[in-house]
Amino acid sequence: MRMLIEAIGKYSIIEIPIDTIYDSEEKHQTHFKPIVDSFQIYRILLRPFLKFILSSSSASLIDLTVFIFFCNLLKEEYPLYYIAIATVAARAVSIVYNYGVNYKTVFNSKKSMFYSGMKYVILAVIQMSLSAIFVTLLIKITFIKMEITVKILVDIVLFFVSYHIQKTSIF
């Protein structure tokens, strides 16, 4: 199964019809176990995404912890910019951790660490900027005044976009 998934888009696959031969038409029974076999198929298909979820979740905990720390530290002194500063500081810490885990564990990349790292940093800067912009805008124009709630919602949307870009373009 994994071999077929890896071959998608890399090799042309030629379907060859085969005859199914049973010992006896009367005693024919399937060896397919719907629950067990479906679970095994989805486990293979979803493994990279589940690893990405774990990697991103742990990086998010780091990111949110640093974000809360800097929001509390800077809110009074820099009321207009504290969210942007806290976002940059938090993302700088979590990006190093997340890149390493994604490169080695999630995508098991064989690409150059330098080039994939450069692409990852560009993606992270864009994602960080979008996060800061959308969190700031949503705090200003909505009734939600808790930065952390808005940040979590914005970052969930950016999570799915980031997974697609990392899977197809970076690793």
- The residue range of the domain holding 113 is 46-170
Average pLDDT in the 40-51 region? Answer: 88
Q: Is residue 39 part of a domain?
A: no
Burial status of residue 64 (CB atoms within 10 A of its CB: 0-12, 13-18, 19 or more): middle
Q: Report the candidate in 125, 56, 158, 155 with the shortest Cα–Cα distance to residue 97.
A: 56
Average pLDDT in the 167-171 region? Answer: 94
Q: Is residue 70 part of a domain?
A: yes
Convert the pLDDT of each residue in 130-152 to its tens digit: 998 999 999 999 888 888 899 88
What type of residue sits at position 113? M
Secondary structure class of 67 (helix, strand, coil): helix
Q: How many domains does the chain have?
A: 1
Helix intervals (H) in 28-78: 34-74
Q: Is residue 21 part of a domain?
A: no
Report the alpha-carbon distance of residue 111 to residue 102 in Å, rounded: 12
Q: Is residue 8 part of a domain?
A: no
Please give the pLDDT value at position 85.
Answer: 94
Percent of the chain with pLDDT over 70: 91
The pTM for the full model equals 0.68
Please give the pLDDT value at position 17.
Answer: 87
Q: Is residue 138 part of a domain?
A: yes
